[in-house]
Structures are given as structure tokens and as C-alpha cells.
Amino acid sequence: MTKLSPLQKARYQYTPKLPKMLRNGIAEISVKEGEATTSVADQEKIQALFPNTYGKKEIIFEKGTNTSEAKKHVVGVILSGGQAPGGHNVVSGLYDALKATNPENQLLGFKNGPSGLLDDDFIVFDDAYIDQFRNTGGFDIIGSGRTKLESQEQFAVVAEVCKKHGITAVVIIGGDDSNTNAAVLAEYFAQHNTGTQVIGCPKTIDGDLKNEDIECSFGFDTATKTYAELIGNIQRDANSAKKYWHFIKVMGRSASHVALEAALQTQPNICLISEEVAAKKMSLSQIANYIADSVEKRSEKGMNFGVAIIPEGVVEFVPEFSVLIHEINELLAGAKAEVFNSLPNWKEKYLFIEKGLTKESFEVFSILPEGIQQQLFLERDPHGNVQVSLIESEKLFSSMVKAILDERKAKGTFKGKFNALHHFFGYEGRCAFPSNFDADYCYSLGYNAFMLIQYGYNGYLSKVSNLSRPADEWVAGGMPITKMMNIERRHGEDKPVIRKALVELDGKPFKFFAANRDVWAVETAYTYPGAIQYYGPAEVCDLTTRTLALEKGE
């Protein structure tokens, strides 16, 4: 038998906090409907695609008589996409609400993501099994996967699986793509009168599944606190050794919420924000010179050390680099990829690249370190495109900064030292023990999801708001997923998708960062968040993210 750590034992015993209203007892929870909703954009197109689930009303739960239909529920649940701390508590909250309503209710956990629904591969949860996973990180309770539910054939298979087991509802725990799939599946079920509902739960550590209704996706709090602890540790080390610049890449392919939150918690010397890079049309050279200026100014003060945070996807936001990526994708399209791959060495491949790129793009390509150049020609994604996430952008920028500083040293303008170390923080934060916030929030999302099921809602996202306040003051309810959708061009086709939330440059979190970063760039103003605290004063243990606090003016 596996020996449990003391913390693991203690976390099993933790009782997640619920919004006050959800603690009234299932029989005393009523529903209050609000206004009908519209999608964030492309209203006519979205309505045409979702005639049965579009325009539904937002709802909140409040104290009152439960008027839902009394019947036995068999609910299926899947974890979809990358791991995020707190997923186990969504399942636990869903299970507890379901059993509190009727001990005969069942929860089926479909294994390894959406493919479990297609393969009819599941387990039936019971108390003993659920209790092993309460308040723990990871998705190992049933596993996860990235299979997309998007074709009519897949929907028909899922409908048959649900019919076979008498499933009344499916809960999909995932990010923007997974919940887009949930909305499409809900529409299919409604159109074909299957009697099965679909409810989504907002998950992603990237923080880009948010809007006026969804204040925070689960996992973001724990992941950013984990990264901030590590960054704080590195800052303490840098300030002790006083001889290294640490370039730290953090997760966040399309949005820089993770990088911004980590910077707000730790106050590093440099933090790039991809959305600002795009807005200002900054070149690679401009970014590298911006970092080099900080290195030089700190060196003049005798501080030949520092910390720079780099968002994972920042290079995609550099206009000249985006053009280069597009040209490389075209260069290696079809049979030309075979010609390139058959060339015997990098020298000949380099000549092939030089001939195939425009003059402007080759100038960008030529200034890149050779290692980065080669990374651009690594294995393609399923659509034949460059896998930008494989590019070691932290090494790209440190290399470019070194080259700039070498030039300045030759001219006599830089007299300091520059030695770089590199880190990538990603997987370290995806399965951490959830913070109290995420443990509470996720349990509430799961509990709330069953209330939506009980009241018959379909195509809704479980919603818990007022999150910057103590859990007692949180507000539970639901919103139609179609409210978050717009039309985007994907693989040559118009597709309905949930709009990703990028860092808002006129938002309070970025403005606070922008108002302070010039001082942080030159001074050593590091803060050290330390490890996530689970026990002790609420102002320490239940602390929310700086992003959420600033957004709410706290």
C-alpha cells in the first residue's frame, strides 16, 4: 500500500467552503432567471448554428423552495485537455451534490477524456474511490485527453452511449475548446431530443477562459502561486550569488495572464507581455534592446544579475516573426518538405531556406541563434505548421541580449558582466495540490453543476462569481455557453468558438504592472511569495490572485 505524506493525509480531511446559498441544503435552493443572452459577436451566425440553445437566460441560485423535477440522475463526467489543479474537487463536488439529492443517483467517470465517451470506457464512482482524490492535484482520478467532440458521427456515438446507460447529463470539465465542444454537443442533444443535458466547467491554468461572467478559470490560482514561489526562490538566489541573469519562460501560449500574475507577485526586473508586444508591433531587436538596457543600467549600479519572465508564446506576437513563421509553413508545404528533409546537412538546408524566404524574413531568420533556427524546422504539428511552443524563446532572447551587450562592450558603453541561466516553468504547476481558493472554487463549481442539471439546464457553464470576496459571499449560477462565442477562421472554415480572453492593456492589472516596471527594471525590488499556505490565517491561506484583486479594486 502506498504510504501517504502528512500533507496528503491532512488535505483529505479538508472541507471545502461553499457559497452560503449552496449550504442551505438541496431542498432549499431555488433558481432565479435573468435576462436572455446574446453571443459576444456574430450573433446571427451563432444563433443559426445553435437554434435550440441560443439566447437562453443567465441564472443564479438563491435560498428558496427547490422546484426541480424529482427523478433519478445518472451523470457522466469527463476531464478534457491539460491538467489544472482542482479538477478532482470539481468531480467531488458534483458527486456530493448528486448523492445528497438522492443516494440512488450515479456518477460515471469516463476515462482519458472525451475518448472515454466514444469508447464507452468508464468507472462508477463510490465514496471510497472519490475519497482518495479529495483536495488533491492532477487528473489521475480518471485521466484526461485531447480528443475533440466535433463531428456528427461522434455525437451519434455519444448519444448511444448515454442512452445505453440512462445518462441524464454529461459534465465536461475543460478549457475554451472543450467547452465549445460542450456547446455543440448540447445543441445536438437538444436537436435530437435525446433527453441528455450538457454542462461545462471552466478550466485552464492559462487564465484565458474569462469574461464579465467567468471571473477566473480554475487552476490559475494554484499554478501561478506555484510559479511565483519558484520565481521568488530564483530571485533570492540571484540576489545572493549576484552573478546570473535568469530567463524564465512560463506557460501561456495565446495569452500572458500567467506571466503577468507571476510578475505582480514577484516584481522581477523584466516581464514581457505578448499582447503589448503585438499592440506596439515590437521587433525581436527592440525587445532584446529593452532587456539589454535593464542589464546595463543594473550593471552600472554594480548589480550584474536579474530576472526576466518570458511568456511561452511571445514570439508569435512579434509581427516580423509571425510573417517568418507563415513563410516557413509555406516553404515546407506538400512535397517541398520531403526535399528539405532529404538534404544531408544544415548548411545545405540553410541555403534552401535562404532561397525560399523573402529578403525581409530571411533577415529576421539570419539574426536568430542557430539552435533557434533549427527549432523552427522541427517536427510539424498535425496541420503542417511550426510548433512555436517548442521554440526556446528564453534562450532566443538571452542570446540576442548577449550579442547586443557584446557590441556595446566593444564600443566601451557596457562594462559589466552578463551570464544567463534558463528555466521553463510549465508542468510544475499543472498538478500541484490545489490552493484553498482552487479547492473551494472547484468544489463549488462541481456542486453547482449538479444544481444546473437538477433544474434541467442544457448548454450551460457552471458559474461562481464574486470570487475576490470570502467564499461565504460567492454567488452561484449558470450562463449559456453560447454567450461567450464568436466565429473564427479555423483550418479554412468558419467555426463557432469561445473567444479567448487576452491580457487587456487598459485593464487594472496591466496598468499597475506598467506603472511600476521601470523601477523594477533597474532596482532590486523582488518580493518572495513563498510556498502555498493551506493552514493558518485566512488572509494568508485564502489569498486570491493579484490579478483578481486588482480587477475588483481590492
Tell me whether strands 475-480 and 57-63 are parallel, antiparallel or unpaired. antiparallel
Angle at 447 between CA 195 and CA 20, to 5 degrees: 135
Cell numbers for 421: 541561466
Q: Which residues contact 487 (CB under 8 A, 6 or more apart)?
A: 41, 42, 45, 46, 494, 495, 496, 497
Among 424, 472, 463, which Cα is nearest to 18's? 472
- Note if 506 is an active site residue: no
Q: DSSP per residue over 442-503, as a string?
A: HHHHHHHHHHHHHTT--SEEEEEE-TTS-GGG-EEEEEEGGGGEEEEEETTEEEEEEPP-PP
Q: What are phi and psi of 226, to 5 degrees?
A: -65, -50
State in Å, rounded, how far the first CA of the chain is from the last one: 47
Alpha carbon distance 530, 326 (integer Å): 42
The 10 Å Cβ neighbour count of residue 150 is: 15
Q: Which residues contact 262 (CB under 8 A, 6 or more apart)?
A: 224, 227, 228, 231, 250, 268, 271, 309
Alpha carbon distance 234, 423 (integer Å): 10
Q: Which DSSP letter does residue 504 get?
A: P
Cell numbers for 184: 455543440
Cell numbers for 247: 530567463
Alpha carbon distance 79, 98 (integer Å): 18
| 432 SS3 class | coil
* Strand ranges in 132-273 using DSSP code E only, listed in sequence order: 169-174, 197-202, 245-250, 270-271
At which residue does the C-alpha cell 534552401 appear? 352
Q: Confirm if 19 and 474 have CB atoms less than 8 A apart.
A: yes
Q: DSSP per residue over 84-138, as a string?
A: -TTHHHHHHHHHHHHHHH-TT-EEEEETTTHHHHHHT-EEE--HHHHHTTTT--S
Exposed (0-12), middle (13-18) or buried (19+): which is 525, by Cβ within 10 Å?
middle
Q: Which of 177, 206, 208, 440 is catalytic?
A: 206
Distances (CA, A) of 56 to 29, 35, 191, 214, 452: 20, 8, 15, 17, 13
Distance from chain centroid for Cα 98: 28
Residues acting as catalytic residues: 206
